[in-house]
Amino acid sequence: MGKNKDVREAVEKELTFDPLVDATDITVMNLNGDVALNGTVASYPQCLEATAATQRVDGVKNVHNHLEVVLPLGDFRDDAMLTTAANNALALNVTVPDGVEATANDGNVTLTGTVKYGPQRAAAEQAVAGLTGVRNIRDYIEIAYDADATDVDILVQDALDRWALIPDDSDVKADTRGNTVTLTGHVRTWAEHDAVIDAAWMASGVSDVNDVLTVTG
């Protein structure tokens, strides 16, 4: 019970400490490192940052973000206005290829189109995430490139060997089936976890990453 309380209190303090999050209406629950965030925040970036802040806390193994974005009245944008703003943001981002489009419905932005690399899809999300009026992003962008399983495994493993965040004795493994990479093994921190995920997404043709990594803390 004591350890659960310590993790919960540490997450609450981190959320309060983070200047990008208003934690007033956030409730934290913890069970053996599985942390759930409930309540409301005023913007989509705050929702994302709440997860990032929680992952920084020692002892957190999984984060279940159930926060709802409740926009202040002045931040509401009608569907047509938000759709136009989102497509303009995509067009202005040189990392996002032509053909990626956005549509908005009650603050929910849906992204469609095709890209070649996972980081291009992530760039599209980032391009619209900070727009006023966004409550959530639904990413249906497809990756149109056939992955060679052997090549992807080697590329990801080589990347992990190079990256400073991943220790030499890491037991993380990448296994590719079709265009899906499954990552297994143990990482010490969420920073290591995210580095492994990023390495997998950088390989050409990867359309999905199955995260079975264990964060030991």
CATH, residue 85: 3.30.1340.30
Q: How many CB atoms lie within 10 A of CB 216?
A: 11
Q: Of 92, 123, 143, which residue sits at a domain end?
A: 143
Closest CA to 208 of 166, 129, 152: 152
Closest C-alpha to 135, from 73, 42, 32, 210: 42
Q: Same domain for 92 and 58?
A: no
Q: Are residues 134 and 80 in the same domain?
A: yes
**pLDDT tier for residue 213 given thresholds of 50, 70 and 90:** very high
Strand order in the sheet with 101-105: 101-105, 108-112, 136-139
- How many structural domains compose the chain? 3
**Is 63 in the same domain as 8?**
yes
Does 93 lie in the same domain as 55? Answer: no
- How many Cβ atoms are within 10 Å of 148's Cβ, its own excluded? 13
88 shares its domain with 126: yes
Q: Same structural domain for residues 53 and 86?
A: no
Residue for token digits 């999905």?
A: 208
Given 23, 40, 69, which residue is the final one in a domain?
69
Residues 57 and 100 both lie in one domain: no
**CA-CA distances (angstroms) from residue 174 to 62, 84, 99, 156, 193?**
20, 39, 30, 7, 13
Q: Are residues 113 and 62 in the same domain?
A: no
The parent domain of residue 126 ranges over 76-143
pTM above 0.85, yes or no: no
Tens of pLDDT, residue by residue over 123-155, are 999 999 999 999 999 999 988 766 666 677 777
Task: Please report how the helices 118-129 and 79-92 are oriented relative to each other, as an axis angle in degrees rounded to 10.
Answer: 130
> What is the rounded CA–CA span in Å between residue 213 and residue 210?
9
**Same domain, residue pair 161 and 115:** no
Instruction: List, for residues 152-165, the tens digit of each pLDDT value.
Output: 777 777 877 887 77
> Does the structure show a pLDDT above 60 at 113?
yes
Residue 6 tokens read as: 């310590």
CA distance 169 to 20: 35
Same domain, 55 and 27: yes
Residue where a domain stops, chosen among 123, 143, 163: 143
